Amino acid sequence: MARNGATVCRRSSRRASPSPSSAPAPSGGVGKPGEGLAIDYQVVTDVRAFEIAASGAERARVALFVRLLNDRNGVIAAERLFEADAAVSGSGNDAYVAALNRAFGEAATEIVTWTASRL
């Protein structure tokens, strides 16, 4: 079971529940646990760092460890640590939030690209 994550549904003939319609199974998509999808993979994330480093030049730091878990057999298909940082521009909470958003956005973009290349 994923602690934090999304599910990835690739082309599959499996259905979450029987359907009386003759419509074809979905060809792929992304959803959240509990949405009734017949999933192929889970994207499981562990937050390793989400912080502002205040020593020296202030920087936001984000580190996320990501696993692609095959939902059919429980095998980890791939795993990787994603790290990003961004300089804090200005002072105060708004500057910290903006820097964390930039760092997280960079890491999230890398995760999406990496996930798509692995499936």
For residue 82, name the pLDDT band (cuts at 50, 70, 90): very high
Locate 69 and state its tokens: 């878990």
For residue 5, name the pLDDT band (cuts at 50, 70, 90): low
Arithmetic mean of pLDDT over the chain? 81
Can you tell me the mean pLDDT for 41-62? 93
Can you tell me the mean pLDDT for 40-57? 92
Q: How far is CA 108 from its chain centroid?
A: 7
- Total domain count, the chain: 1
Can you tell me the mean pLDDT for 35-51? 89
CATH number of the domain that 9 lies in? 3.40.50.10610
Q: Please list, in sequence order, all residues whose beta carbon lies within 8 angstroms of the beta carbon of residue 19, skipping any fewer than 6 positions away.
A: none
For residue 108, name the pLDDT band (cuts at 50, 70, 90): very high
Alpha carbons 78 and 90: distance in angstroms, whole number: 38
Domain that holds residue 42: 5-118
The position carrying tokens 């994330």 is: 45
| Contact status, residue 53 vs residue 99, Cβ threshold 8 Å | no
